[in-house]
Structure 1
């Protein structure tokens, strides 16, 4: 790992806070300020990565969580959304949950490539043990995040090694030209079952006598803080967190979609939205544009939406226009923003600046109209 500081006006620093916690089926505590570093004004965090183990995975809880958000996800969204964090992605396998939150301005530069689950309990058929993975691209760089729950105790070391190897082998981003996550020294050591955070940065080697033409690395990762939080007593485990600074020169400098709400609104109960796209954007009729109140918790929190394929009214010189129904928005002084969701890429690829809109009259959604869900 290198802490080399990047130079040049195009460099960007992202602060990432990572949490791991075996919660022993407990509900969230009333206050997570210390764990999430909410009172540390100097951090200026951009991304949260939160891995939880041993969530309540009884039948009733699993059925309820399948229909609604689990209590931990809901609690974390309630805490982080007022701070402009949006849940970007999540993956759950029984009691193992992995969540990624990001400041909303980063959303167009985060592409979710895959989410995977690897059960290792009961000979690989049960998900009480195992790992879940989110593979994404962050400003053009590949990032793989894994949350593991391994067998405990020294006597289970061989089984733990076997499970660890299986999780890593199964959770690479298949078909991607990225380094194999197994290429590190963790396979040579005994993986602990206690709570900890492992990280590794892989990049091209620096130029040398035999490779004088290699470019200098364009990113670096440094650890700012690492420790446990002993004040939490809901579980027999204590949460562990680490704060990292990721410095990079973005490989993607502009969003794939640029959204522009039109003012004034020319059609009663509708607002016109113009957008342009890059030449290589893989558009789909199943793409949609959502209208959100500022402070949204995740991408499904829209107050109105439009399917791009059904609602497009004009297209010329790479400028497209669609109408979004705003008749069901009550009188409010809240600010709104627009997000363009790409079905092909499975991610938000464009976001507007916050704006205000005139109120519309309340009206029910048309019967039978499908609503997008992620």
Structure 2
């Protein structure tokens, strides 16, 4: 074993479970991009997420821009969930979704939620960011990305906030190309964004409608003749010139431009602006600044590629082509629209709903686990797990105990290190110990999850099971309300015992916050 890692082998009897699925299945993806202009989340996000739709999403991807970045808010959000994450998690958790990935850079926030049944098949999650603000040092502009393997197919989601103002179209393209060039992942097959099978690019891209005057633009919007504006949309104009942009597809802009609105209104910008020399009545021209595009990796059927395949000059490329043929992936956009119901920002949210048709590369989780015997806070407990497929195990792997309806990977009641608390081992079954003091006194419906530090995801999940209430606590005469208080205190204690991943996240986030606050530190620190 090197670096605390070893290969966990699956038993031979389970080798048949690794056979790939031969049938294509459909999955629904719901993407939202919204510049929230530092506003707090609305009370109800049902319309934003289409929660009342008969067809529920399998994945939700939410990209926000201009989330509140006040100094106190940044420090607070580095320890607790920010208001937007909390709002979305509490809305989706009762419907059996959990947050599988998130990343934030100042006002940019990217969140990925999955239906619970898909979680063990979302693997190798990585996230990164790129600053394109002042001298490419400041993170008020830039891009966040999350990549993952979804049933073996590599997906990447890129949320961008690019340079503002009409005259900076070329700068926006340069920033996008810079983000695509510099963002890298610790993945051999897909080190760059462009290497992924399917890429979604969205955000406040800030492209404007050029040449046309404000009155013509507003007239076209009023009459819903949006097509008269498409040819002067800067993103469409730049697509004709830039090869990288031509690789991305976008649905027709058959909804009204999403910027710029008066706050708490559906009226386009009507404010009177102040300039250095008095009042300037110039208003912002409406524009489709908020966009969702995608790129499906093309099949390389060129003559050069066929020659390359014959001479086997690039084995990796050949394997990729063969994999694409054996495991097809198709995408269809079902909806591309804005949501006019929300008026807390000067932007309206944009929603894209997609259907992914794919053939699964695997159908079984890497790990199967279950509780052994009855569980309560009166006795020590055992977890039994078995690897169903080979994977790189680590001393940093852990098994978490969660209440049914948990919101994210870190929303555990307690956890145990797999290697430290291992008490029995054979080729097929491994037992892990959990002390009774870690089990909730009141009990409840729970699940167990195996978290792989190498893949940065949950790779196995038990069926829900019952944790019984503590008989000892009842015999000692604890009243229900006191029992409830005791249980809350115990859960709080468990929450504040963070694992290494949490500590690292808190350290890096707090360090980033300090860097942002550095110019202002002397204003309130003693000399």
Q: TM-score, normalised by structure 1?
A: 0.88
Deviation (angstroms), 1:15 = 0.7
CA contact (8 A) 1:314 1:320 kept: yes
1:14-52: CA deviations, max 9, x gaps?
1110000000000001111111001112x2211100000
Asked if 1 retains the 8 angstrom alpha-carbon contact of 2:30 and 2:354, the reply is: yes
Partner residue of 2:49?
Answer: 36
**Corresponding residue of 1:260:** 370
- Cα distance between partner residues in 2 of 1:118 and 1:238: 25
Are 2:102 and 1:90 aligned?
yes
- Asked whether the 8 Å contact 1:206–1:216 carries over to 2, the reply is no
How much has 1:285 moved relative to structure 2?
A: 1.7
- 1:204-353 matches, cutoff 5 A: 204=299, 215=325, 218-264=328-374, 268-278=378-388, 280-327=390-437, 328-332=439-443, 334-353=444-463
- Residue of structure 2 aligned with 1:79, choices 64, 69, 91: 91
Q: Distance in 2 between matches of 1:56 and 1:179?
A: 31
Query: In the TM superposition, what is the alpha-carbon distance from 1:9 to its structure 2 partner?
Result: 5.8
User: How far is the alpha carbon of 1:181 from its aligned partner?
Assistant: 4.5
Following superposition, the deviation at residue 226 of structure 1 comes to 1.1
Instruction: Describe the SS at the equivalent of 1:357.
Output: strand
Moved more, 244-253 or 25-34: 244-253
For residues 150 and 247 of structure 1, the distance between their equivalents in structure 2, rounded to whole angstroms, comes to 31
Aligned to 1:150: 162
Cα distance change, pair 123–337 in 1 and its aligned pair in 2 (3 A): same
Name the CA shift for 1:326/1:39 in 2 (closer, same or farther; >3 Å).
Answer: farther
* Cα shift at 1:179: 8.9
1:199 to 286, 289, 294: 294
Q: How many positions carry a matched residue from both structures?
A: 364
TM-score by length of 2: 0.64
Between structures 1 and 2, the one with greater helix share: 2
C-alpha offsets along residues 202-230 of structure 1, whole Å, 9 cap, x if unaligned?
1535799x699953552211111110001
Name whichever structure is richer in strand by fraction.
1
User: Aligned-pair distance for 1:77?
Assistant: 0.6
Distance 1:193 1:59, change over 3 A: farther
Instruction: Report the Cα distance in structure 1 between the residues aligned to 2:23 and 2:59, rounded to whole angstroms.
Output: 20
Instruction: Give the whole-Å Cα distance in 1 for the aligned partners of 2:334 and 2:436.
Output: 45
- The Cα RMSD (Å) is 3.0
- Cα distance in 1 between the residues matched to 2:298 and 2:377: 52
1:335–1:355 CA contact under 8 A, matched in 2: yes
**C-alpha separation in 2, matches of 1:308 and 1:329:** 20
**In structure 2, do the counterparts of structure 1 residues 344 and 178 end up closer, same or farther at CA, with 3 Å as the change threshold?**
closer
- Native 8 Å contact 1:24 1:56 kept in 2: yes
Is the aligned partner of 1:107 residue 2:119? yes
Equivalent residues of 1:338, 1:351 under 8 A apart: yes
CA contact (8 A) 1:336 1:355 kept: yes
Larger Rg: 2
CA shift for structure 1 position 174: 5.4
Question: Is contact 1:152–1:193 with CA below 8 Å preserved after alignment?
Answer: no
Could you tell me which residue of structure 2 aligns to residue 58 of structure 1? 70
Look up the match of 1:4. none
> Is the Cα–Cα contact under 8 Å of residues 135 and 144 in structure 1 kept in the other structure?
yes
